[in-house]
Amino acid sequence: MFKKIHIRLTVLFTAISMLIMIAMSAFYIVLDYKNLYINAMYVFENNLSTLTVNFENKSSISYNMLMNFQNSYKYMFYVYDNDIPFQFTTDTKTKEQLEFIEVFKKQYHEKNSKKMEKAFKAVHDQTIYKNGKEQYYAGIILIPGHKSDTEIYIIYPLDSLKRQFRNLLLRFVMIILFTTIALFVFSWFFTRRLLRPIHENQQSQARFIAAASYEIRNPVNTISSALNAMGKADESQRQEFIKIAKNESKRLSLLTTDLLMLARSDSHSFSVSFNTADLATIILESYEAFFLPAREKKISLSVELPEDSLIADNIDSERIKEVLAILLDNAISYTDEGGRIIIRCSQTAKEFILDVIDNGIGIDAADKQNIFERFYRADKSRENNSHFGLGLCIAKEIIKLHNGHIEVRDTKGGGSTFRITLFK
């Protein structure tokens, strides 16, 4: 599914960027197309004026000079002296070109008979000449002489402008093509990076659901087997099965409460109500709640509090009690008989530090990184019915809501110490 979304997003991103690029290029090309013709006409007019002055100042027009002009301007020069073509004209033009200029001459003189009246100095005129589909800029220079007048026709086929424009278009197409490929590659990696956290999140959700289903399946199966067996059992066995079903449903209820808590935390609807509370009271109440279970396992449970007051603003005392309950429940579970557990609280100017110290089985370095993850149990062989591997991650969520942090370290001489830091 993610591969499909990845491809779709890449294509969409590339296509949108390409469309924007094409629209911008088209706008630029249209402007450039107009400018190309305007500029060419402007240059043609300027050249015509320069040439007129040039020709006027030269007493004679040589073959070489005309050849140079023709080559450097890429214009076609037709020179007539008293309507007789120069040798340059007959030598450098084909029969078709000579016929072409004759037609132009005739048409031009018919339409513009007055424009180029005999003058005492060189004059010029220009026009746009259309012959079928072909278009030309055409210029006429008239140089009056003593015996005869010289007429120079300068023809510039706009074909070359079209070619220039086509080249420009081709360059744009190439640029768009290369940019599209580059954009595709870029967006491929970019969208992959963008989708990675969503993908990882989805995978972790899937893992969570799989693990939750697995955990729910066990008590449900046990309850179902107990109910089935109850039908065939005698009275004393029936009581035993009822006890099993009751225990398992209690376990199921605990599990669903934990799952609900995590789901709420995921959807940011985990409710906390911050108040001013005395940490010493919270600790002593937790101590009282776990005193009996600890004593049953012959574990000594004690509290170490500083003399100064431990009033904390902005804490949810019920949630902090929940965290302490998780840590104390774990400490009792993972500490062997005869062990000891200390709940210690201290404070600095900026923070409260709450330690739950045990001298139990301890946690391997490799496991320390994972114990705050959902359904992670470091020692699976010690599987306890009410331990699903969710406690520490719930504790972490609660502490996160308090903007504090929770960490685990080894107790000197063996065991684990869980440290909660709450900022004042």
Binding residue for ligand ADP, selected from 139, 219, 339, 389, defined by CB under 6 A: 389
Chain centre distance of CA 256: 37
Nearer to ligand ADP, 125 or 373 (CB): 373
The contact mask relative to ligand ADP for 306-345 (x = CB under 6 A, - = no) is --------------------x---xx--x-----------
**Cβ atoms 393, 406 nearer than 8 A:** no
Nearer to ligand ADP, 374 or 402 (CB): 374
Task: Give yes or no for residue 397 binding ligand ADP (CB under 6 A).
Answer: no
Neighbours of 328 (CB within 10 A): 23
Torsion of CA 284, 289, 293, 298, to 10 degrees: 20
Buried (b) or exposed (e) across 26-56, using 16+ Cβ within 10 A?
A: eeeeeebeeebeeebbeebeebbeebbeebe
Binding residue for ligand ADP, selected from 320, 363, 406, 422, defined by CB under 6 A: 363
- Nearest to 155, CA basis, from 67, 76, 90: 76
How many residues are recorded in the chain? 424
**Token digits for 341?**
């557990």
Which residues are CB-contacts of 165 (< 8 A; sequence separation ≥ 6)?
32, 33, 36
Task: Give yes or no for residue 377 binding ligand ADP (CB under 6 A).
Answer: yes
Nearer to ligand ADP, 1 or 365 (CB): 365
Task: Give yes or no for residue 416 binding ligand ADP (CB under 6 A).
Answer: yes
**H helices present in 83-158, as ranges:** 87-92, 95-111
How many residues bind to ligand ADP according to rule CB under 6 A?
Answer: 21
302, β-bridge pairs? 342
User: Closest separation between CB of residue 326 and ligand ADP, Å?
Assistant: 6
Task: Give yes or no for residue 187 binding ligand ADP (CB under 6 A).
Answer: no
The contact mask relative to ligand ADP for 231-270 (x = CB under 6 A, - = no) is ----------------------------------------
Nearer to ligand ADP, 237 or 253 (CB): 253
**Token digits for 129?**
């000449």
Binding residue for ligand ADP, selected from 284, 378, 401, 405, defined by CB under 6 A: 378
Task: Give yes or no for residue 360 binding ligand ADP (CB under 6 A).
Answer: yes
Interior angle at CA 97, CA 92 and CA 102, nearest 5: 115
Nearer to ligand ADP, 187 or 417 (CB): 417
What residue ranges bind ligand ADP (CB under 6 A)? 326, 330-331, 334, 358, 360-361, 363, 371, 376-379, 387-393, 416
